[in-house]
Amino acid sequence: MTSPMPPGQTSLLLQMTQRLALSDAHFRRICQLIYQRAGIVLADHKRDMVYNRLVRRLRTLGLDDFGRYLSMLEANQNSAEWQAFINSLTTNLTAFFREAHHFPVLAEHARRRTGEYRVWSAAASTGEEPYSLAITLADTLGMAPGRWKVYASDIDTEVLEKARNGVYRQDELKTLSPQQLQRYFMRGTGPHEGLVRVRQELANCVEFAPVNLLDKQYNVPGPFDAIFCRNVMIYFDKTTQQDILRRFVPLLKPDGLLFAGHSENFSNLVREFSLRGQTVYALSKEKA
């Protein structure tokens, strides 16, 4: 005969299995808070995604009501939970050498420049983009100290930690040549079989830091020869996009390039940038 479960455990089990209610008012508050903190615009069709991601936070904290969770956030503007809230609601779709047409453009641009070539990956996610930039520059310019540097940032601290670790499944590197895989990654063995890690020599050329693109000033070591800000502007409204692009202007060297995502068009947003190629922009002549 099975012993009855203690009341506290019964309550916890019910909390873990019952679907919590997310009211229209609570969803609107969530949308408002993530917009204020990260500039992200959440459409109505994202409601299920918001629920599924935030309910994990509630259960981790032992809460059974979205209203209590939101009130807890709003009561302490400096709470560490704000970062967990942001991390839960950011989207981190990425891949090595995604939008492959950009990398030959970067390589050719780097060949023509003198001094240290500096690139900023402004939405680095889990690291695939900045390491793709690093591989491109290493193949193009070599690994001599001071020849090039990649700076990588993201608002999501969890994905940045994964990026710093530089560990990936081997099947995530299908777009790399066998030579690149051997030159820039170490294969795992035993319990780590099927995993690869970025070699330290390459990792040393990539610097990671948290940056919120909503901030009025970015704590990054510009100016840069190139800025990659791909597939992140689509989550912002037009005004936020314009503000971010204008903050990029003093962070680009003369004849520097700005790389956008495949579904992003900056041409009609601000006068400061003009199209140079397929989703590649440069400062307009009067701003250069």
Which of 28, 29, 47, 53 is an active site residue? Answer: 53
Question: Three-class SS of residue 220?
Answer: coil
What is d(CA 211, CA 119) in angstroms, rounded to the nearest whole number? 15
User: 3-state DSSP helix/strand/coil percent for the chain, to nearest 5?
Assistant: 45, 15, 40
Q: Residue 81, annotated ligand binder?
A: no
Buried b or exposed e, range 151-188, using 16+ CB within 10 angstroms = bbbbbbebbbeebbebbbeeeebeebeeebeebbbeee
Q: Residue 37, annotated ligand binder?
A: no
Q: Residue 156, annotated ligand binder?
A: no
Q: Which residues contact 170 (CB under 8 A, 6 or more apart)?
A: 187, 194, 195, 196
Q: Residue 129, annotated ligand binder?
A: yes
Q: Residue 94, annotated ligand binder?
A: yes
Q: Residue 197, annotated ligand binder?
A: no
Which of 64, 68, 111, 154 is an active site residue? Answer: 154
Q: Residue 213, annotated ligand binder?
A: yes
What is d(CA 288, CA 7) in angstroms, rounded to the nearest whole number? 69
CA distance readout (Å), 237 to 12, 36, 40, 41, 240:
40, 12, 8, 7, 5
CA angle 21, 24, 29 (to 5 degrees): 100
For tokens 């299920």, what's the residue?
Answer: 48
- Reply yes or no on whether 171 is catalytic: no
Q: Are 26 and 67 in contact (CB under 8 A)?
A: yes
The phi, psi pair for 132, rounded to 5°, reads: -65, -40
- Reply yes or no on whether 154 is catalytic: yes
Helix boundaries (H) for the chain = 7-17, 24-38, 47-61, 66-75, 81-89, 102-111, 128-141, 157-165, 178-184, 200-203, 238-248
Residues within the annotated binding site for S-adenosyl-L-methionine?
A: 92, 94, 98, 129, 154, 212-213, 230-231
Active site residues: 53, 154
Residues within the annotated binding site?
A: 92, 94, 98, 129, 154, 212-213, 230-231
